[in-house]
Amino acid sequence: MNRQKPNPDDRSDNVEKLQSMVQNTIENIEAAEETMAFSSPEEKAKIQAKNEKRKHAIEGFREEIKDEASAREREQ
């Protein structure tokens, strides 16, 4: 049997990846808000709901960034 070994846990760039995800999500929120000017009331409600989910995701990303930064400091 040829079993593959799992890749080692490389957390070295997690903070940067998470920061990039935060930035991308902020840009998505801004772009969605711009499209609301041209949207029907129903579409506006959907956009607002999705942006609320995005804002909650950003909060989660920021908590993960703190955790990853702490883990990075402990490793040094």
Output the pLDDT for position 32. 98
Output the pLDDT for position 23. 98
Angle (nearest 5°) at CA 16 between 72 and 64: 65
What pLDDT digit, counting tens, does each position of 19-57 carry? 999 999 999 999 999 999 999 999 999 999 999 999 999
> Does the pLDDT at position 6 exceed 70?
yes
Query: Exposed (0-12), middle (13-18) or buried (19+): which is 18, by Cβ within 10 Å?
Result: buried
Q: Which residues, including other chains, have CB under 8 Å from residue 17's CB and lie 6 or more apart?
A: none
Least confident piece of the model among 11-15, 42-46, 49-53, 63-67:
11-15
